């Protein structure tokens, strides 16, 4: 079901709530969640915690708020977080951990597969010294958005957790797309979450809920995160209307993510065959992939040309576009998109 005739490959965030979600929202039993009196929010939080194998969960308004609340709960002013130089927290969250939390970011290079090398993490951990901030948290991202939607394995996540713990640091996972990672790797999401002290995942991306992410972790962490969420303005009242859609997302929309991965794969393989476009097929593992354009093609012009065919993508820089499959991208949309990419390239060749 494409949206208003558009094949919108910009992001899985554009997905709209399913009929079952809209019905559940309408029927949701609600209360004041700041008083913890919303039964639907509590049900969602318990379900999320159980699915991720953690003690407790906390509904937050967005992935950005979830990551920030997790950092505020685990690090203070003058502390440091070790994170990837291409991580969403570092690139796309307005530097919120520093701006609002006084937490210093310590970026280390993301490898092409989204990992941070263990030796780079080790080297970034601060020894006790009056000149240095104190290292408190290591943050990973799974799947890794800017690193080709790569999933990080259980073994790798465990290795980072072991290293972090040996130095008294905590491990946070930005798991906005953790269920995509689980499906791509063929492991339960709880196995990917097990090594982490805190994990955020999104309801509002591939799972198609309209709003919300959930933080999971142990009870003490969740209580701190609940305080942090409140100061960030995220203490919601009758939030059961949001949580109801989230419950549908978790019970009905997880397994189908495999279809998004298969369609991304098919589209990526077709685009890789178009002269002028490059896709690193080895890296196409989930629902996100990147396409590089040969010089002198310009990604911005290409994006515009694609829109004349009612296909939308994101241009990341002058050579790179991002393609994301999701609930509203069907097999027919993939069939229609392929000639559109071909035609758009010809258009910018002729006019550009």
Binding site for ligand TLP (CB under 6 A): 11, 13, 62-64, 88, 92, 141, 145, 174, 176, 202, 204, 213
User: Smaller CB distance to ligand TLP: residue 157 or 204?
Assistant: 204
Nearest distance in Å: CB 82, ligand TLP = 17
Nearest distance, CB of residue 62 and ligand TLP, angstroms? 3
Q: Least CB distance from residue 213 to ligand TLP, whole Å?
A: 6
Q: Please tell me the distance from the alpha carbon of residue 115 to that of residue 163, in angstroms, as a whole number.
A: 14
- When the beta carbons of 145 and 342 are compared against ligand TLP, the nearer one is 145
Q: Taking the complex as a whole, how short is the minimal distance between the CB of residue 1 and ligand TLP, in angstroms?
A: 20
**CB count in 10 Å sphere of residue 37:** 14
Residue 21 beta carbon to ligand TLP: minimum distance, rounded to whole angstroms: 17
Q: Which of 114/342 has CB closer to ligand TLP?
A: 114
Nearest-angstrom CA–CA distance, 346 and 343: 5
- Spatial CA neighbour of 70 closest among 86, 54, 85: 54
Residue nearest to ligand TLP (CB): 63
- Name the CA dihedral angle for 173, 225, 163, 148, rounded to a multiple of 10 degrees: 10
Helix (H) or strand (E) holding 141: strand 134-141
**Given the structure tokens 């930005």, which residue do they identify?**
174
Q: Residue 24 and residue 243: Cα distance in Å, rounded? A: 9
Alpha carbon dihedral 150, 1, 5, 147, in 10-degree steps, equals 0
Instruction: Give min distance, CB of 88 to ligand TLP, in A.
Output: 4
Angle at which helix 240-252 crosses helix 19-27, to 10 degrees, equals: 140
**Nearer Cβ to ligand TLP, position 68 or 344?**
68
Comparing C-alpha atoms, which of 249, 47, 183 is closest to residue 191? 183
| CB of residue 63 to ligand TLP, shortest distance in Å | 2
Torsion, Cα of 108, 58, 14, 247 (10° steps) = 140
Which residues make beta-bridge pairs with 342?
none
The residue (of 141 and 260) whose beta carbon lies closer to ligand TLP is: 141
Dihedral over alpha carbons 106, 109, 110, 116 (to 10 degrees) = -70
Q: Strand 79-84 to strand 134-141: parallel, antiparallel, or no bridges (unpaired)?
A: parallel
For ligand TLP, the closer of residues 6 and 92 by Cβ is: 92
Q: Which residue has the tokens 């077709």?
A: 270
- The H or E element that residue 236 is part of is none
Give me the least distance between CB of 212 and ligand TLP, in Å please.
8
Residues forming a β-bridge with 104: 80
């Amino acid at each position: 079901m494409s949206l208003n005739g558009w094949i919108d490959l910009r992001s899985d965030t554009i997905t709209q709530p399913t009929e079952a979600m809209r019905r559940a929202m309408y029927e949701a039993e609600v209360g004041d969640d700041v008083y913890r009196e919303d039964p639907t929010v509590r049900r969602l939080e318990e379900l999320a915690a159980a699915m991720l194998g953690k003690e407790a969960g906390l509904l937050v308004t967005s992935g950005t708020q979830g990551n920030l609340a997790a950092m505020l709960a685990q690090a203070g002013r003058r502390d440091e977080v070790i994170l990837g130089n291409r991580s969403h927290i570092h690139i796309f969250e307005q530097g919120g951990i520093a701006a609002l939390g006084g937490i210093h970011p310590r970026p280390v290079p993301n490898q092409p597969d989204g990992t941070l090398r263990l030796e780079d993490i080790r080297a970034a951990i601060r020894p006790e010294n009056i000149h240095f901030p104190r290292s408190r948290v290591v943050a990973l991202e799974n799947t890794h958005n800017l690193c080709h939607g790569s999933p990080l394995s259980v073994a790798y996540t465990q290795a980072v957790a072991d290293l972090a713990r040996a130095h008294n640091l905590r491990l946070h996972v930005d798991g906005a797309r953790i269920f995509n990672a689980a499906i791509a790797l063929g492991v339960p999401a709880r196995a990917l979450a097990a090594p982490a002290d805190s994990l955020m995942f999104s309801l509002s991306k591939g799972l198609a809920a309209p709003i919300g992410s959930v933080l999971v972790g142990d009870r003490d962490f969740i209580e701190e995160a609940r305080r942090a969420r409140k100061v960030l303005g995220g203490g919601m009242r009758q939030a059961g209307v949001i949580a109801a859609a989230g419950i549908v997302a978790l019970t009905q929309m997880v397994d189908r993510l495999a279809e998004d991965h298969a369609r991304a794969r098919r589209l990526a393989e077709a685009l890789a065959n178009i002269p002028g476009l490059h896709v690193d097929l080895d890296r196409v593992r989930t629902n996100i992939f990147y396409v590089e354009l040969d010089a002198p093609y310009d990604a911005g012009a290409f994006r515009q040309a694609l829109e004349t065919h009612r296909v939308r993508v994101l241009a990341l820089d002058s050579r790179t576009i991002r393609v994301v499959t999701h609930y509203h991208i069907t097999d027919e949309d993939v069939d229609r998109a392929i000639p559109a990419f071909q035609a758009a390239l010809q258009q910018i060749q002729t006019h550009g």
